[in-house]
Structure 1
Amino acid sequence: MSGGLGLNRSHFPNGFSFGTATSSYQIEGSSFGGCGVSHWDTFATTPGNTARGENGAIACDHYHRWPQDLDLIRDCGLDAYRFSISWARVQPEGRGAANAEGLDFYDRLVDGMLERGLAPYATLYHWDLPAPLATLGGWQNRDIADRFADYTDIVMRRIGDRMAASATFNEPWCIAWLSHFMGHHAPGLRDIRAAAHAMHHVLLAHGKSVKVMRALGMEDVGVVMNFEYAQAADDKPENLARAKLYDGIYNRWFLGGVFKKEYPADVLDGLGPHMPPGWEKDFDTIAAPVDWLGVNYYTRKLIADDGTGIWPALKEVPGPLEKTSVDWEIYPQGLHHFLTWAHREYAGDIPIHVTENGMASWDVVKDGAVNDEQRMRYLDLHLREVLRAIEDGVPVKSYFIWSLMDNYEWSLGYDKRFGLVHVDFDTLERTPKASWHAVKAMLER
């Protein structure tokens, strides 16, 4: 296959939606519109935390350029736009008074989607915690669940009546484990107790947020989780055990809490002594019924025992498959695995949305165009796995490409490009890539 995508819209069921996704801190620009300081602003100003010390102060300036960006989604022929709302923009202190400018921005943005025939898919939290709440302990502090419920009420009273679907969180694993145990994202901690508390409190906040949205009469409420295919580096018993534990921390913990009112026993072996008091009593709140599950999927990881004997004793081993510019292996079969597994073991018959799938590549503008052939292959291969899951009986209802445009890729800064649209971060000029044109052609067929 060359120069496009092999599938087209007619291969998918009637009503299947195609969309693209972004997140607030990565594109909006946190220095505009009365936005408060988030823990990503403070994390990025600490030397060594992000590539070249880059931050989201301007990002893609989506705050001012959103009409142009929504036009790019519409003109590509996509049906839906998955966006996130910045807690710090809406509620700069993380509690108390709302920022009218922030609410007005999201009001205009949602109306702009509807005017262009785009279905709005909102995510309430995509990692940009207001810094004042971080000072109070952030996700380590049980009180944050109530603060998140209050924030949910403020936002959804304003825009909830126009949502096609709404999610509480994007990728709880990143919020809790990557950020509090591994230290790669804000707040940059490497502390097992902090991680255990965050792993629980983010789900408690999810459940309380669902309750608020139900009280507002909202439907199509869900949560977005990320998944990585964990495979042992070889058949040694210790490496097989480590791969299973990696799967437990990454994939089974959050699904277990939301859908089964339990956490996996193998993960509790390590986290149990560090969990917050009374955590066992919170499952009725955590497992508030949801209407859909969002699946984010990018890659697999080969896992081995790191030899330290210190839980969780995990080590990633480089794999042999083709890789993206962030060294993630391209393993499309993993998407089929997670769609069928989550449907069978956890979600049951509720709809599943592929809420993120895409890749970073080495994209440059040459003669006014960007040839991202690898991305086109990646999307085609993963769409085929979505179709295979649908044929296997999984109720997959949509597929969202990450991302609409190149953006601030967190600790990796601005040179890792995931977008269908190239952004020149000096001029902020947008240039649709070959993949954007390929998706447009696919949806027209």
Structure 2
Amino acid sequence: MYPQFPPGFRFGMSTSSYQIEGAADAGGKGPSIWDTFTAQAGTVRNGQDGRVAIDHYHRYAEDIALIAAAGVQDYRFSFSWPRVLGGDIGFYDRLVDTLLDAGVRPVPTLYHWDLPQEFEDAGGWMNRDTAHRLADYASTLVLRLGDRVRDWITMNEMNVHTLYGYALGDHAPARGLGLGALPAGHHQLLAHGLAVQVLRTHGAKTVGIANQHFPVTPATDSPEDVAAATLFSDLTNWTFSDPILRGDYPSELIRAGVGVPDAQLDRDLELIKARLDFYGVNYYEPTMIEAPRAGKDYSGVLEVDIPEGMPFSPVPVKSDERTDFGWAIVPSGLTEILVTLKERYPALPPVIITENGASFHDAAPGPDGRVHDERRIAYLDAHLSAVAGAVSAGVRVDGYYVWSALDNFEWAAGYEERFGLIYVDFSDLSRTPKDSYYWYRDLIASQPRAA
């Protein structure tokens, strides 16, 4: 009854630091760009922030026990750069040791969007020096934890961070630079390359990255729509994978837009295309694009609105069902993008689905003490079947991580959107595994064992 995967396939759950940790001032932690962003009126739904989040900082032992009881092999989390910068690396010592004691492999991400505010004040990702600061941070972490952590992820969703935070104003740090944000993307890629170098120098066993990918389809076959969709896909998909997996940007337009002289850019790209042991893919929904039509209202199509004046505009993807976040549910898009990646990159490293999940506005536990989330079960079942389809088509996929382990702070959407397998009551922070948690546990138990 469950999708089946080869022996040795690894199942996991994912989270990120700002979304779950809370403890905003504990251990000398300074502010991140998200602390600054959420303190501004009108930036986050209902004026909410992540200062407490779900208090994972103090409840990590309880959370890890729940994660381990689901039978997952891996837990993907992220370090809080401001927390480490403030000297509180001990929290991650305890977290890693607790995971290992529970039989769960830690798979940490160096950077999941919570840049220290002091680095943003110095230019943020528009400043090339930030890439070198991340390399220093990577060195601090691998020297402290590398004896116990074997799997490392450098960066998370550079495309989303660049688009939402630097090109637009919907996420921190809300720069609104439009296509002028391309240098921020390049400096994140450079940070990745430098971090790979540092991690390997200090003995990291496996190193990867987590990039969001999705099929982009033109609304019609007209040359204008095809060109608009191609440019959008270049900017959101291939700008952040071609340098890593091909050693160059997808077009001269983008190569010129990063603002680095050719000789230096070639040296940067040598660093950026360093060998990876796995390639993380985050998938949620596909996108449909057309050339802008004069006078047409495109607001509300995507989670964020593309401003007027850009050479592409989104149109709604046809889908029989949507999540409560409004995202189209198209499991076949996951198979499609995995096959596309393999075709585009013949030497594609083994893939891990580092994020996939859905927000549904789950009700609190009922009289039976359960949270019934049948729609999430159907979503996960369909998307895992889509992964199995990609494996059958010849794509090597070594693992799948659900986003997310627990309900959490969903960035600019606040606490209304619930992605978790574990329900969190935001009034008292109690945890209740949802029906999808038990379904995932049983799915994992049904898989063939590695020899």
Q: For the Cα contact (< 8 Å) 1:59–1:408, is it kept in 2?
A: yes
Residue 124, structure 1, aligned to residue 125, structure 2? no
Partner SS for 2:240: helix
**140-149 vs 186-195, which moves further:** 186-195
TM-fit CA distance, 1:169: 0.2
- 1:120-199 aligned at under 5 Å gives the runs 120-192=106-178, 194-199=180-185
Partner SS for 1:114: helix
Q: For 1:300, which of 264, 275, 286 is the aligned residue?
A: 286
What do residues 243-270 of structure 1 show as CA deviations (whole Å, max 9, x unaligned)? 11111111111111111111111xx426
TM-fit CA distance, 1:157: 0.7
Partner SS for 2:95: helix
Q: For the Cα contact (< 8 Å) 2:132–2:194, is it kept in 1?
A: yes
Provide the residue aligned with 2:70 in structure 1.
76
Q: For 2:15, which of 2, 11, 22 is the aligned residue?
A: 22
**Quick one: which amino acid aligns to residue 295 of structure 1?**
V
TM-fit CA distance, 1:28: 0.3
Separation of aligned partners in 2, 1:152 and 1:311: 39
Provide the residue aligned with 2:325 in structure 1.
326
TM-fit CA distance, 1:181: 0.6
Matched length: 428
Provide the residue aligned with 1:224 in structure 2.
210
Provide the residue aligned with 1:50 in structure 2.
44
TM-fit CA distance, 1:196: 1.3
TM-fit CA distance, 1:130: 0.2
**Alignment RMSD:** 1.7
Provide the residue aligned with 2:94 in structure 1.
108
**351-360 vs 276-285, which moves further:** 276-285
Separation of aligned partners in 1, 2:388 and 2:56: 33
Separation of aligned partners in 2, 1:307 and 1:285: 41
Provide the residue aligned with 1:215 in structure 2.
201
TM-fit CA distance, 1:439: 0.9
Partner SS for 2:147: helix
- 1:414-425 aligned at under 5 Å gives the runs 414-425=415-426
**44-53 vs 197-206, which moves further:** 44-53
Provide the residue aligned with 2:32 in structure 1.
38
What do residues 269-319 of structure 1 show as CA deviations (whole Å, max 9, x unaligned)? 267256244434411111111111000001011212224797642211123
Provide the residue aligned with 2:253 in structure 1.
269
Gaps of 5+ in 1: 1-5, 93-98
Q: For the Cα contact (< 8 Å) 2:80–2:114, is it kept in 1?
A: yes
Provide the residue aligned with 1:95 in structure 2.
none
Q: For the Cα contact (< 8 Å) 1:340–1:394, is it kept in 2?
A: yes
Separation of aligned partners in 2, 1:388 and 1:282: 36
TM-fit CA distance, 1:194: 4.6
Q: For the Cα contact (< 8 Å) 1:352–1:396, is it kept in 2?
A: yes
Q: TM-score, normalised by structure 1?
A: 0.93
Residue 353, structure 1, aligned to residue 343, structure 2? no
Provide the residue aligned with 2:393 in structure 1.
392
Provide the residue aligned with 1:317 in structure 2.
315
Separation of aligned partners in 1, 2:293 and 2:254: 16
Separation of aligned partners in 2, 1:271 and 1:425: 45
Separation of aligned partners in 1, 2:337 and 2:13: 20
What do residues 368-403 of structure 1 show as CA deviations (whole Å, max 9, x unaligned)? 221111111110011011111112222110000000
Separation of aligned partners in 2, 1:274 and 1:209: 20
Separation of aligned partners in 2, 1:443 and 1:200: 38
Separation of aligned partners in 2, 1:142 and 1:192: 19
Q: TM-score, normalised by structure 2?
A: 0.91
Separation of aligned partners in 1, 2:123 and 2:278: 30
**160-169 vs 341-350, which moves further:** 341-350
Separation of aligned partners in 2, 1:160 and 1:298: 31
Partner SS for 1:161: coil
Q: For the Cα contact (< 8 Å) 1:140–1:194, is it kept in 2?
A: no
**Quick one: which amino acid aligns to residue 318 of structure 1?**
P
Change (3 A) 1:34 1:407: same
**Quick one: which amino acid aligns to residue 269 of structure 1?**
L
Gaps of 5+ in 2: 295-306, 447-451
The percentage of aligned residue pairs carrying the same residue is: 41
